[in-house]
Amino acid sequence: MLSSTSPRSKGLYEFQHPNVKLRLALGRKRKSWYLVLARNYGSGQPREVVRLDKAGMRSSSDGSHSRFWFNTKATSGWERNGQSLLQLLLSLDPYDPPVIALASGDTVLEEKCGALEVDVIVPAHRLARWCEGCGYWETVDSNPRWILARPGKMPGYLCGACAEKDWFGARVLRYLHIRRGRSML
Ligand SMILES: [Zn+2]
């Protein structure tokens, strides 16, 4: 059974690797999975580090637990000595719990497709959210957090400004979100 990263916590989950000085997060943009910077580090540094899932291979999710096909060719630039990005993410700082785990280790499929299936250990409500309105990623200090504007298997989110600007439904959800003081998931 999968362990969980502080399931009672509500904030975006950030983590670190000994090779990397920046704080990182796992994020989801529509069907895709990304490694993103957990904060804005300025200087126009893009928040997206790399897309993690193999394009064209289906992710699965039951709302709280997700699984996707990790692109074994994906690189972040932080890998050392022949290490892959997948290995880097499986060997995080010992003080941080793991963020993903190998699901099947199907090496035949890996060779055929260049992908390995992984389970996402970070709970869905603690993943970095991408705003469908302005295209920005939320940061660890986004308060309140981006809100759920479209539930379902491929949830959509809006930042506070976009939610108030152009969508009544999102505004209601935002109100409920603030009232309840917790994630809508
Ligand atoms: Zn926005």
Query: Which residue type, as a one-letter code, is found at position 124?
Result: A
pTM score, whole prediction: 0.83
> Binning pLDDT at 50, 70 and 90, where does residue 185 land?
very low
Total domains in the chain come to 2
Give CA–CA dist 160/85, Å, rounded: 33
Give yes or no: residues 110 and 133 share one domain: no
How many angstroms is it from 162 CA to the middle of ligand 1?
A: 4
DSSP 116-152: EEEEE-S-GGGSEEBBTTT-PBP-TT-SSPPEEEE-S
Give CA–CA dist 2/120, Å, rounded: 9
Give yes or no: residues 112 and 68 share one domain: yes
Residue 127: the pLDDT is: 94
Between 41 and 182, the higher pLDDT residue = 41
Give yes or no: residues 105 and 150 share one domain: no
How many angstroms is it from 137 CA to the middle of ligand 1?
A: 8
In a domain, 10, yes or no: no
Query: Which residue type, as a one-letter code, is found at position 23?
Result: R
In this model, does residue 13 exceed pLDDT 90? yes
Give yes or no: residues 97 and 168 share one domain: no
pLDDT digits (tens, 9 = 90+) for 93-148: 777 788 999 987 666 667 778 899 999 999 988 999 999 889 999 999 888 899 88
In a domain, 45, yes or no: yes
- For residue 85, give the 3-state DSSP assignment: helix
pLDDT digits (tens, 9 = 90+) for 68-99: 999 999 999 999 888 899 999 998 877 778 89
In terms of Cβ atoms closer than 10 Å to its own Cβ (0-12, 13-18, 19+), residue 89 is buried
The whole domain housing 142 covers: 128-180
How many angstroms is it from 115 CA to the middle of ligand 1?
A: 32
